[in-house]
A and B are shown apart, each in its own frame.
Chain A
């Protein structure tokens, strides 16, 4: 099992495998929209999404863009395991405020943290195991155990896992592409490697 790629979306930058691929002084929604344009994400559903799903869409796009073998992955072998602290709090507050005048189904649907898994799954046809966990901080040990268990059971061969949170309009994501097949590139899939990639500081 190998971490074949990792993407970090955090405080003004998007980083792929230790290289900064986008930098901006914008924040929140403006930062995500600028990243979407600059990185040529080309997925118009993006504009309908809440900040959590926008963050996930950008991170997953950067994670998978250069892969030429996506179509060889069987949908049932691909899945997602994500986690955060604040569930869907920003979408919750947005829906709650708007609902005083008019309860909007388009806002309500994003008031669940696993919707970002649904959005990414739709785009890439990931149909296998999926789960959303809540923890105070990124729990690399839990994430490693859960995903490794799925791969050892042969339920997944490819998994996007990691941390994705938005609070006070500040997006923060660190997504890992983990593959069962041996690979010459990337890092061994260990809790320690998840932690060190997550904790690395790429500056502002």
Chain B
């Protein structure tokens, strides 16, 4: 089987415009989550990680804010990977949960507007901007979109459909999304507390993230590979997670089997960790079913909030930075253990040899996804 290498990576977030800047901010203990008073988005103050409005004012007028954020992330990753998007062996995947939803809030909804806000329109615009010749693949699968997009890219590459795939994801937090999560009483008024006994809901966040994946190995020593992936469905509830965690475990188990790794080979878990009572309990059950309860787990939601369709990509990029820098990021907001099953929450910056991590994600519609990312050994 062909290996799928990571050629480059990027995050554009309130904490920085490159993967390196973002990793440095996390190592310095910075969070982008703060209280905002913005009547356009919410009648009450809310706690979230938002892009600086100046970012969008400087963006080309031809792009919607969602497109501008995605383009910024893709540009850096494509430049670093030194790839030619117009190569017929190169494809790209767009991942998002709500894409251009903000456009519907600005103007009367007409049939023409409904057509214009479609993700295919954005994807075609971005394809033309970068000069991709292959039709983009668009993944929109709630909060597993970013992780599922990586799995999809891996399968396309393994099958030899393409040599290189650019995987990009982004989401913005507009009134639509914020009011929806608020209606579920799922939003915390303060910094979220993943896996903590006192956790009481999520923070939302804005970001874009990109990885360039290829079957052609990069020049660097010990390149990083996406070695396995799995997807499952709870078949239980459309807006609440599984009571047992068995289905997330199924996705984890399939990802680990595909990667040919066992629990002992996993150095840390980059969890979904939204800081809702039900999600974090479900994840603790799945982690125990997988025999990973002693492996350090982090959630990055306390730094970035939940970045929806970007989350799986963003958190994978930080995981890759962890493998490169041999440091595991602590779980911002976590103080007191409080999940239904015990897990080892990483609560301080940990310098350690790390060769492999597991990334998990779950979302509305009962979906779960997991990938294994490894540093190749000499």
Contact = CB atoms under 8 A, between A and B. Distances in A.
B238 A109 contact: yes
Interface stretch (B176-184, B193-201, B267-275): B176-184
A119 B366 CA distance: 9
Nearest to A119: B238
A96 B105 contact: yes
Contact of B140 (A93, A113, A146, A168): A113
What interface size band does chain A fall in?
35 or more
Nearest to B94: A134
A168 B140 CA distance: 20
Contacts of B120: 85, 134-136
Nearest to B122: A134
B184 A129 contact: no
B130 interface: no
A93 B179 contact: no
A133 B139 contact: yes
10 contacts: A76-B232, A89-B114, A93-B104, A99-B179, A105-B183, A108-B180, A112-B140, A129-B232, A142-B137, A146-B152
A129 B231 contact: yes
A70 to B, nearest CB: 13
Nearest to B137: A133
B329 to A, nearest CB: 29
B365 A117 contact: yes
B367 A103 contact: no
B148 interface: yes
B104 A118 contact: no
A125 to B, nearest CB: 5
A149 interface: yes
B118 A89 contact: yes
Given A85-B118, A87-B140, A155-B254, A92 B238 contact: no
A117 B123 CA distance: 23
A48 to B, nearest CB: 10
A122 B232 contact: no
B206 interface: no
Interface string A107-132: 01101111101110110111111111
Contacts of A96: 104-105, 109, 176
B117 A89 contact: yes
Given A99-B176, A127-B247, A121 B104 contact: no
B138 interface: yes
Contacts of A99: 175-176, 179-180, 183
A118 B105 contact: no
A119 B234 CA distance: 11
Contact of A115 (B117, B135, B365): B365
Contact of B179 (A103, A126, A128, A168): A103
Contacts, number: 149
- DSSP class of A's interface residues: helix, strand, loop or mixed? mixed
A121 B176 contact: no
Interface in B320-367: 363-367
B235 interface: yes
B161 A86 contact: no
Contacts of B180: 95, 99, 103, 105, 108, 111
B97 interface: yes
A79 interface: yes
A145 interface: yes
A168 B113 CA distance: 12
B57 interface: no
A167 interface: yes
Nearest to A88: B140
B176 A92 contact: yes
A82 to B, nearest CB: 10
Interface in B159-185: 159, 161, 175-176, 179-180, 182-184
A28 interface: no
A132 B233 CA distance: 13
A132 B137 CA distance: 11
B101 interface: yes
B125 interface: no
A112 B142 CA distance: 6
Given A114-B142, A118-B364, 17 more contacts: A79-B231, A85-B120, A87-B99, A103-B179, A114-B141, A115-B364, A118-B366, A122-B236, A122-B237, A127-B233, A131-B139, A131-B141, A131-B152, A134-B139, A145-B161, A146-B155, A155-B230
Contacts of B135: 135, 139
B250 interface: yes
A86 B115 CA distance: 8
